[in-house]
A and B are shown apart, each in its own frame.
Chain A
Amino acid sequence: MDFFTALRVSGSGLSAERTRVNLASSNLANAETTRGPDGQPYKRLDPVFQAVAMEGANATPGAPGEKPMGVEVSQVVADQTPGKRVYSPGHPDADADGFVTFPNVNPVNEVVNLLSASRGYEANATAVETLKQMAQRGLDISR
């Protein structure tokens, strides 16, 4: 059984959680951005996590669906729910009726995502530490 598949799996988890933190930070930073690069209000971004097989996991017995799987962010989707419209005729981005569309970002949700991603990151890092200690103990058998 491969010793280091677990390390790569945890590595992929760390990477994915970091992406999640990046996106949540982006959403928070752009909570009031009414004009993005394409001229439209900012739409919040969501990562899509997908389980992927790790190379080297073939050594573990079991059917393909039961091997240890890593994670990757397969795509980043923009949330298409329309943002709230605020009547503000003097705003540079007001449309013909005087309404400004603000991004569909709810800061409370984003902070919750941030916390959850940071806990996930810590958990993966703990898994890596634990494996390192296990490996050290395994080597210590031979003094």
Chain B
Amino acid sequence: MRSELDMIVGGVRPLERPEAHTIEAPGKSGEGTFTGELTKALGEVDKLQVDADQQAKMVAEGGGNLHEMSLALEKADISMRLAMKVRNKLVDAYNEIMRMSV
């Protein structure tokens, strides 16, 4: 009986540890901080706006690609709306905190 128990216990493999997700301690305002991520995201929104501007300019000058321009404009619009929503949420959160009585 003991040997059978041993077999059963031995047959159960230890739980495999998933790949440990290394969480680095973030720097002051580099990668990994909230500020860093926010800045990077705003940079991408800005890049989309510049892209849309360039496409619109190309179409205005008489060349350009109509559907590329439409897509660039739409991306710029959507990303800006999302950024605005995030900004509004941040402002609301700030106000909420300021309202808390200490």
Seen from chain A, the residues whose Cβ lies within 8 Å of a Cβ on chain B are 1-3, 59, 135, 138-143
Contact = CB atoms under 8 A, between A and B. Distances in A.
B35 interface: no
A15 B51 CA distance: 39
B73 interface: yes
A73 to B, nearest CB: 28
Contacts of B70: 138-142
A3 B70 CA distance: 13
Contact of B65 (A3, A140, A142, A143): A3
A2 B67 contact: no
Interface of B: 63-67, 69-71, 73-74, 77
Nearest to B63: A2
A55 to B, nearest CB: 12
A93 to B, nearest CB: 57
Contacts of B64: 3
B78 to A, nearest CB: 11
A118 to B, nearest CB: 31
A138 B67 contact: yes
Contacts of B65: 1, 3
A87 to B, nearest CB: 65
8 contacts: A2-B63, A3-B65, A3-B66, A138-B66, A138-B70, A141-B67, A141-B71, A143-B74
List the 4 shortest-distance A-B pairs measured between CB atoms, nearest first: A138-B67, A141-B70, A142-B70, A138-B66
A95 B71 CA distance: 75
A143 B77 CA distance: 11
Nearest to B76: A142
A142 B73 contact: yes
Nearest to B71: A141
